[in-house]
Amino acid sequence: MNREPGWLDRIRWNPDGLVPAIAQDADSGRVLMFAWMNREALQLTAAQGYAVYWSRSRRKLWHKGESSGHRQKIREIRLDCDNDVILLCVEQQGGIACHTGRESCFHQRLEKQQWRTVEPVIKDPEEIYHSK
C-alpha cells in the first residue's frame, strides 16, 4: 500500500470531502458492501490494514467490525480510472459484512417489480450486536 504524501491528493473527493468505497471479497470477487470514506478514513485504512469508513448518519469514523467483530482485512486498495471511487479487496472476518447478519449488503433482488430477499441470514443481528 502506497504511503507517499501525495497519494490522497490524487482522489477526486465529492463536495462533502467523501469518496464512495466498495468492499469486495478478495477471493470470490463478490461485492460485500458500499460505504463512504473521508480522507482520514482512507489514510487509516491504508496505515492499519483494516477498513475504516465515514458514517454519514453518525458523522464519525466507523471502524468496520468495531461492534460486530466482523472486520475487513485489506488485501488491496484500488482507485478507479476517474479517481473518484475506491475498491477495497478484503478478507471479510466472520463471513458477515452486513448489519442484517448476511454475507453481503446486496441481498435483495428485483423480481417482478418487487424487491425480494434472496440471501440467508448467517447470524441473527440480535446475537451479533447485543451479546457483547
Report pLDDT for 2: 47
Burial of 4-31, coded b for 16+ CB within 10 Å and e otherwise, reads eeeebeeeebeeeebbebbbbbbeeeee
pTM of the model: 0.90
Eight-state DSSP code of residue 42: H
Distance CA 76, CA 11 (A): 16
- Give the chain's domains with CATH numbers: 5-130 (3.10.20.810)
CB-based contacts of 88: which residues, under 8 Å, 6+ apart? 21, 22, 23, 24, 45, 51, 72, 74, 76, 77, 78
Q: What is the pLDDT of residues 47-92, one digit of tens each?
A: 999 999 999 999 999 999 998 999 999 999 999 999 999 999 999 9
Averaged pLDDT of the chain? 94
Burial of 100-122, coded b for 16+ CB within 10 Å and e otherwise, reads bbbbbbbbeeeeeeeeeeebeee
- Identity of the residue numbered 32: L
Of the pLDDT bands very low, low, confident and very high (cuts 50, 70, 90), residue 116 is: very high
